Every structure is written in C-alpha cells, then in structure tokens.
Chains A and B, each alone.
Chain A
Amino acid sequence: MKKSQIEEGIVKGFMLLSFSLVVCSLGFILVTVIVKGLPALNLDMLIQTPKGGYYLGKEGGILNAIVGSLYLAGGATLLALVFSLPIALFLKTYSRRKWWADYVRLSLDILWGIPSIVYGAFGFTLMLALGLRASLLGGIIVLALLELPIMTRGMDEVIRRMPIDMEEAAYALGATRFETAMHVVLRQMLPGIVTAILLAFGRGIGDAASVLFTAGYTDRIPNSLLRPVASLPLAVFFQLGTPFPEVQNRAYAAALVLTVIILVVSLGSRWLSARMGRYTIK
C-alpha cells in the first residue's frame, strides 16, 4: 500500500470517528431522556401546575415550568435582540475605527465565556442593590445578559461575511448608510440573524444557574413581571434531587419537554432560514 493511501485511510477513519461521536452522543441523550421520561409523561404533566404533594409523587404537572421557561427565554431573547442587532450593525456599518470594533468584539467574547452562575450571582447582587426580589423581570434581565454576547457575536459574524461589493452596489444607487443597512445588509443577513437569535434562545431556555437566584421558583404561573417564576431546568434539578423514584422520573419527563422545545426551535430555525434565504446572494 502506498503512503498516500495509508494517510487517506487514517484521515477517513478520523472523520468516521468524529461523525459517529457527534451523532451517537446526540442519540444517547435523546434515548436516555425518552426512555426515562416518556413513561412519566402524560397530558396532566403538560397542562397542570403542581398540586399539593406533587413533589411527593402526587398529582399535578409542570405547566408552571413550561410557561415560565417560555416567558423567561422569550422575554430575554426579545430584550437581547433590542440591543444586539444595533450593536452588530453598528460594528459593521458605522464604526470607522477598527481597533474600537475589535475591542467591543473582544469584550463580547469574554462575556460569552463567563459561566452562567456568575451572571446569576451578578444579577442577584444587582437586584439586592435595587431592592428587587427574585422575579420574572430579574430572570429576564440576567438571561438577556447571558444571551447578548451569543446573539451579538453570532450576528456580527454573519454581517461581517456580507460582501462589500453588495453594499457598494446599494451606495452606488444613492442609498444612505441607513437604507443600505436596513434594506440590503439586513435582508442578506436575515437567515443568519434568525439563526443567531434562536441559538441564543436555545441557550437561554436551557440555562439553570443564571435563573436560580434571580427568577426563583414557584408552583404558580406568574401574573406579573415582579413575581417569581419557575423554569424547566430548575424543575429538572429540583425533582431529580428528591428521594422518590416517581418524582425523579418526572424530572426526566421535564427534561424531555425541554429537549423537545429546543429541538423544535433549532429545526424551526433551519426551516425558517432556508425559506428566508431564497433571495440571499451566496
């Protein structure tokens, strides 16, 4: 056998290995969650809030955590979007000094790397100072902080890949910077931007540590931004921590619900960006 053939074989082997590693770990997670969670999952779990004695294995559901998680992650994603889209567009279109934009990018990368428990602790300190209690609002703010660097850098990478010639084409037609940013840059980048938003949403909805202190936990569905709110990751955490097997199985059911939400979001984002990508220039 020739040397080049051996090299080819080794590289192919590594590719197969990495492929199966990725696919298998996803498969194992799904199988574990489904096998352990599906038997405990029933309609009541999805449409009821916990009744008395729920955590001892009596009746009720995790509707409080499902709705709470959607509130938290939805609110945080909206809030993060309000800030990250202008930041990303600014970095690309307006910033004239490159070092300054690079400095902002570096800061965002550092923020990205900060563990979410630190965000939680920071948010907790902030809330103490402001006299806020654990609440939906507090959770949304801290989750938005967590999501902001992910979303902004995601958008920034997408926007930076924008071909300069396309912008020049818009400028040549007499478009202003603002028109170019809104009609051309944004439209070209929309599929990527949606992906960044949903990526951040997925990260936000799955995070437990940052909402532990800031959002609290409750068996009710909050009717105000200032009330505490439950979340699916914490529902998993608390139920898994009980000594009762049936409650532990419900933790897996909650994990299954969370996984399905994230799966739907990421598959939905793929579908959506393919649809919106109809006109983008590749």
Chain B
Amino acid sequence: MEPHIQVRDLNVYYEKIHALKDIDLEIPRHQITVIMGPSGCGKTTLLKSLNRFLELNESTRMSGNILIDGEDIYALGVDVTEVRKKAGLLAQHPFPLPMSIYDNVAYGLRIHGMCPNGRSVDAKVQHYLLEAGLWEEVKDRLHFPATGLSVGQQQRLCLARGLAIEPEILLGDEPTSALDPISAQHIENRLMDLKNEYTIILVTHILRQAKRLADYVVFMYLGKVIESGLPGEIFDNPQEERTLAYLEGQF
C-alpha cells in the first residue's frame, strides 16, 4: 500500500543543535504508527515537523522533504493552515481554548467555514464529542466553560476539537502522559477505534503503551531513526543493539 506520509532526508537544527539527522521514513495509512525512544531523541521534533509546527520557533532550520499523499507540505505556495487542518494534534497537556465546551469543538468548524448554514454545527459538535467519548458527560453543560472539566475530560475535548476539522492524520505527542490511568485508557481506546479512518502517529515513551497500540513502530535515538518496522519484528526480534538495549530498559 502507498504510504500516507513520506519523510525524505529530513534534517532539523535548533540553532547549533542537530536535532534530527537524515530521517527517512514511510508512515502507513490508517494505522497507528508509534514513535518511541528515550527523551531528547527527537521524536517530538519529528512529530512537529509533520504539521509544520517547527517554524513557530524561529531558531529552527530544516532541510529535506515531507510528503503527505505525495505532495510536499514544505513546498513554496503551500498554505500552512491547510497542512495543519490535515493533521490534528493531541498535545501532551490538554489546553482547551478560552470558550465553552461547545465552542471549543465548533471553533475549528467556524474558522474553516465548514458549516455554511449554522444549523449543522450542533449536529457536528455532538458527533465529534460522541466520537471522542465525551458526549454523555457534557451534554447537559455544553455552554459551560471548558475549564470545569477534569484533565482527562479536557484531553478528550481536545480530541473532539481536533477531529472536528476533519483531518486525515492524528498526531499524538504523549497524549496520555498527563492523565490518570483510567483517562489514559479512555484515550487509548478512542485511538484504537479511530485508526480505521485516520492515520495516527503517536509519540510515547511508555513501552507498554507502544506494544498495546502499535501497528508500525519507529525507534529513535539521538536524532536518528535506528529501526522501524512491524511490532512483531521490532519488539521480539530487534536487529539493532540499541533497540534491544532500549527495550530492555537500559536507557
């Protein structure tokens, strides 16, 4: 199958730090790709390169290409907001927008003009809150501030908000690390449900989570992709010594 995302010869520098080195990667469509590795290995940087978040930091330089559906997202004339609309982000800490629960989900629909007649907004908000597994808990207080939710609920709200812009790709930057175990499991279950429709890329340092979720595994170390492949190969029969060492908990 044609890969959904192709990373070609990607190099990223933060001022003088060489954060990503010669990354070549193909990310399959409609599967969960888990990027794992010790902290500081560049996995978040790689994730941020996929929705063009790197350029928010002005000291970043990069070279190479990233293609989504064969099109270079860094090519001249590409609208950065379109790239970000294609790739929803679930951050490490949930950050609701300063609006009501309802408006948090509706915001993306509004800025992209996805609901030309206002009436369908209600239906979409409900749909995505259901998809994120939050609807039952918030249906009676949709117009209350999003801050009233627990952290776990906020993360699911952020998921609903991200899904509402109808992305093709979901990027998760350790999205469960700030959550309690039950909320984390909630998010994991959602991701499992969603992978039939979305290409999901998950950064994690939790090995057990990687084993539970991954359809495809990328192991990174010191800014390089050491090894990538199917979970059966990587977890049970790693070809590289460093992968083995990581799996055995040596880092």
Contacts and interface: CB of A to CB of B under 8 A. Distances in A.
Contact of A282 (B51, B99, B147, B165): B147
Interface string B72-112: 00000000011011001101010111111000000110011
User: Which residue, A171, A174, A279, A281, has most C-beta atoms of chain B within 10 A?
Assistant: A174
Contacts of B81: 174-176
Interface in B25-62: 51, 53, 56, 58
Nearest to A96: B58
Contacts of B93: 165
Contacts of B145: 278-279
Given A165-B93, A278-B145, A282-B147, A173 B84 contact: yes
A34 interface: no
B85 A174 contact: yes
Nearest to A97: B58
B110 to A, nearest CB: 9
Given A166-B97, A279-B100, A172 B111 contact: no
Interface string A135-171: 0000000000000000000000000000101101111
Interface string A248-266: 0000000000000000000
Interface string B110-140: 0110000000000000000000000000000
**Size class of the B contact interface (CB-based, 8 Å):** 20 to 34
A187 interface: yes
Interface string A167-197: 0111111111001000110011000000000
Given A165-B91, A169-B91, A176-B81, A279 B53 contact: no
Contacts of A188: 98
Nearest to B81: A174
A278 to B, nearest CB: 6
A127 B154 CA distance: 56
B56 A168 contact: yes
Interface string A90-129: 0000001000000000000000000000000000000000
A42 interface: no
Nearest to B99: A279
B200 interface: no
A48 interface: no
User: Which residue, A169, A172, A184, has most C-beta atoms of chain B within 10 A?
Assistant: A172
A171 B56 contact: yes
A163 B112 CA distance: 24
Contacts of B58: 96
A281 B95 contact: yes
A18 interface: no
Provide the main secondary structure of the chain B interface. Answer: mixed
Contacts of B186: none
Given A174-B112, A187-B99, A168 B91 contact: yes
A183 B56 CA distance: 18
Contacts of B91: 165, 168-169, 172
B97 A184 contact: yes
Contacts of A174: 81-82, 84-85, 108, 111-112, 165
Nearest to A176: B81
A279 B146 contact: yes
A281 B111 CA distance: 21
A172 B98 contact: no
A163 B51 CA distance: 20
Contact of B162 (A168, A171, A173, A279): A173
Contacts of B100: 279
B111 A169 contact: no
B158 interface: yes
Contacts of A184: 97-98
17 contacts: A165-B91, A166-B95, A168-B89, A168-B95, A170-B107, A171-B53, A171-B56, A171-B84, A172-B89, A172-B162, A174-B84, A174-B112, A179-B111, A188-B98, A278-B145, A281-B98, A281-B147
Interface of A: 96, 163, 165-166, 168-176, 179, 183-184, 187-188, 278-282
Lowest 6 A-B CB distances belong to which pairs? A174-B85, A172-B89, A188-B98, A174-B81, A174-B84, A173-B108
Interface of B: 51, 53, 56, 58, 81-82, 84-85, 88-89, 91, 93, 95-100, 107-108, 111-112, 145-147, 158, 161-162, 165
